Amino acid sequence: MPDEGKEVERRHELIIVGAGPAGLTAGLYAARGELDALLLESGLPGGQLLLTDLIDDYPGVEEVGGPELADRMLKHATKFGLEVETATVNAIKKLEDGDFRVTTDEGTVFRARAIVLTAGGTATKLGVPGEDEFAGKGVSYCALCDGAFFKGETIAVAGGGDAATEEGDFLTRFAEKVYMIHRRDEFRAQKIFQHRVFENPKMEVIWDTVVEEVLGDSGMERLRLKNVKTGDERFLDATGLFVFIGFRPNTGLMEDHVDHDEAGYFITDRDMRTSIPGLFVAGDVRSQMTRQITTAVGDATTAVITAEKYLKELAEPAHETAKT
């Protein structure tokens, strides 16, 4: 029986943090490799998949709903015995003895010889007056979650990347009119998503414009917009605003310095190794050109195979000593 008041640590060979597509893939390969692995996730397994209505770019699967694909991935991994636990990780630190210490909001403390970090990220806010006030009352960051609340209404989408154009197109299933508000004079999104916007009669693009303020009474009623080139302001009547302007990686979980790019994404080699031995990353926390389900899955596969080799190398000196 542990001493009263002494912190109890649970040990595993490998801990995977985050259960999006990358985390679930990492869990699958770890379980198939019979590693003593634990997958920690603060919410429901699936990550960004749970916010995606339709996926049509996953090889071999012409169309599938995001939540359905997440469920399939989870079942596939747990079929091989993967242990999944609900816990909110708040810090990861490498100790002097080479182990990693993982602490959680729930008070549980874990130790592992290696970490695969697949913790994803958080949507970036506009930071304008009224945004927080009308969050859940017109302002949203999840089209799948809230789109059905805007049937027959006029709404706006802020952003010009893949997420903004894809989710804007999805929102036309419910809204009568969708305005795309973009600060530049062209989209950054993939051409296939741009075509969907331009060809959709329910969508209209407002170029060179930013949202300056969200206005309303008990709920959002209109937006104050500003043209970044002319400085002219106008009001747009809309009952909803969906914000897709960026993504902040959850790399702050690491207490130690890890080499990263200007946006805070961790830099790895081709085998998903970071500048800290034993720390491997995959998915949306990794610095790379694209962030797709396919790249997350591929990164995670490599990360776990590399982690398995790392763990084997750690065990070999002890094995050799035992023989002598």
145 is a catalytic site residue: yes
Those residues with Cβ within 8 angstroms of residue 316's Cβ, 6 or more apart along the chain or in another chain: none
Catalytic one of 105, 132, 145, 185 = 145
CA distances from 309 to 179, 269, 283 (A): 51, 15, 20
DSSP bridge pairs for 281: 117
d(CA 125, CA 97): 40
d(CA 105, CA 88): 6
**Which amino acid is it at 158?**
A
Tell me the pTM: 0.74
CB 82 within 8 A of CB 30: yes
Q: Which domains does the chain have, with CATH numbers?
A: 9-122+247-323 (3.50.50.60), 125-243 (3.50.50.60)
What's the token pair of residue 293? 């389900």
142 is a catalytic site residue: yes
146 is a catalytic site residue: yes
Strand order of the sheet with strand 154-158? 139-140, 240-243, 154-158, 177-181, 203-206
Which is nearest to 115 in space by CA: 232, 223, 276, 228?
276
Going residue by residue through the chain, which has 324 residues, state the pLDDT in tens, using 9 for 90 and above.
Answer: 445 545 678 999 999 999 999 999 999 999 999 999 999 999 999 988 887 777 888 899 988 988 999 999 999 999 999 999 999 999 999 999 999 999 999 999 999 999 999 998 888 899 999 999 998 899 998 887 788 899 999 999 999 999 899 999 999 999 999 999 999 999 999 999 999 999 999 999 999 999 999 999 999 999 999 999 999 999 999 999 999 998 889 999 999 999 999 889 999 999 999 999 999 999 999 998 877 899 999 999 999 999 999 999 998 765 555 555
